[in-house]
Amino acid sequence: MARVYNFSAGPSMLPESVLAKAAAEMLDYEGCGQSVMEMSHRSKVYEGIINGAEALLREVMNIPDNYKVLFLQGGASSQFAMIPMNLMTGSGKADFVLTGQWATKAQQEAARYGQANIVASSKDKTFSYIPKLDPDTFTKDADYFHICMNNTIYGTVYHELPQTGDVPLVADISSCILSAPIDVSKFGVLYAGAQKNMAPAGLTVVIIREDLIGKAMDITPTMFNYEIHAKNGSMYNTPPCYTIYMAKLVLEWVKNEIGGLDKMLVRNQKKADLLYSFLDSSAMFKGTVVPEDRSLMNVPFITGNEELDALFVKEATAAGFVNLKGHRSVGGMRASIYNAMPYEGVEKLVAFMKEFEAKNA
Ligand SMILES: *Cc1c(COP(=O)(O)O)cnc(C)c1O
């Protein structure tokens, strides 16, 4: 069996040891004679899995006790509505920074429920940078301030958080969760679809400060109310059982095999440095993001020639480097190098790029 190096932006690679463990436990989970896929979510065995996943996430991310962890469905995209429905109930206003397609979707969805102010945008340069923010332009009585921390499509990341004072900071961390330590106490809400860095698709993790729960609009569907899920320990209805189990295995990998998020950051920096320093030295390939805002997870690049881009993607795919085509809204290439991508995968990709450059110069 030949496994490829999968540079997909999501769903994406999972650690091989996690997949092997899931395979080994597929037919008989810990001697209970059934697969995790088959068992009741109300069983004692499953209770151990979901509670274990939450405990590990709390430990690995160092989540303070006054935050709830919710395991939901509907993807990060459902949070674009769920957040305003639950939080936009004081002044009815919120601030948004437009740093890409996901940030824009979050703002557009919130605008259906209240006043969704755009305080800054980097659309003028195809979202290739994070705008400088001036706190004087922020809405003082906003119910929250929303950012998309790592911009999956454009390859930018915030290195500095906006100074929002008492206004709760809400961040979409779908494509950077577990990639580096994060100070949870600086945020009101963190949310992420799991399929980039945490698990297969199907799970959305919400980490929310307790005082922000219980303020939902009357029109909020029961399933969109944070309070319902918090009160029921993410078991109001059937949770995405198997994906939560996979997240638990990934968290065990982060904790035991990697050694936590500090170590994960070092590992991710090493991988990203290798690729960016090649892009900076190449005469053919170049990164599209300003150096100071470059993401460790998603690395978009171009040759400047669409035919050459297409040839590169084609030859790379044949050589076992798959899903390198850039997002349809940007073109070019994008290498997503999430936690599970080994250093060796980036090393081999860079060697392949060097060869391609020599051959096509
Ligand atoms: C992938 C992604 C989304 C969309 O996630 P879904 O789970 O497909 O709804 C939203 N935000 C960011 C930053 C993403 O990377």
The pLDDT tens digits for 245-273 are: 999 999 999 999 999 999 999 999 999 99
> Partners of 204 in the beta sheet?
72, 193
Share above pLDDT 70 across residues of the chain, in percent, rounded to a whole number: 100
Encode pLDDT of 83-99 as tens digits.
Answer: 999 999 999 999 999 99
> Partners of 117 in the beta sheet?
95
Mean pLDDT to the nearest integer, 33-38? 97
Encode pLDDT of 106-137 as tens digits.
Answer: 999 999 999 999 999 999 999 999 999 999 99
Encode pLDDT of 184-225 as tens digits.
Answer: 999 999 999 999 999 999 999 999 999 999 999 999 999 999
Distance CA 97, CA 145 (A): 8
Report how far ligand 1's centroid is from the alpha carbon of 9 (Å).
10
Mutation choice for ligand 1 from 79, 107, 174, 191, CB with most ligand atoms inside 8 A:
174
Mean pLDDT to the nearest integer, 7-33? 97
What does the pLDDT read at residue 361?
86
Q: Tokens standing for 49?
A: 């899995």
Helix (H) / strand (E) containing 301: strand 298-302
Whole-structure pTM over 0.75, yes or no? yes
Cα Rg of the chain, angstroms:
21
Active site annotation includes 359: no
Active site annotation includes 271: no
Mean pLDDT to the nearest integer, 222-237? 98
Atom 11 of ligand 1, residue of closest alpha carbon: 102
Distance CA 351, CA 71 (A): 40
- Write down the number of H helices and E strands in the chain: 9, 14
Q: Is the pLDDT of residue 334 over 80?
A: yes
Atom 5 of ligand 1, residue of closest alpha carbon: 76
Q: Tokens standing for 43?
A: 């069983």
Length of the chain: 361
Active site annotation includes 172: yes
Q: Order of strands across the sheet with 333-336?
A: 286-287, 298-302, 333-336
Q: Is the pLDDT of residue 329 over 80?
A: no
CB atoms within 10 A of CB 270: 12
Peptide bond before residue 11 is cis, with ω within 30 degrees of 0: yes
CB 346 within 8 A of CB 297: no
What residues contact residue 102 under an 8 Å CB cut-off, 6+ apart? 76, 148, 151, 152, 153, 172, 174
Higher per-residue confidence, 330 vs 139: 139
Report how far ligand 1's centroid is from the alpha carbon of 148 (Å).
10
Distance CA 43, CA 33 (A): 13
One DSSP character per residue, 74-140 reads: SHHHHHHHHHHHHHTTSSSEEEEEE-SHHHHHHHHHHTTTSEEEEEEE-GGGTT-SPPP--GGGS-T
Ligand 1 binding pocket (C-beta < 6 A) is 10, 75-77, 102, 148, 152, 172, 174-175, 193, 196
What does the pLDDT read at residue 2?
86
What does the pLDDT read at residue 1?
65
Residue with tokens 């190096």: 5
| Exposure on the CB side of residue 115, measured as CA atoms within 13 A | 10
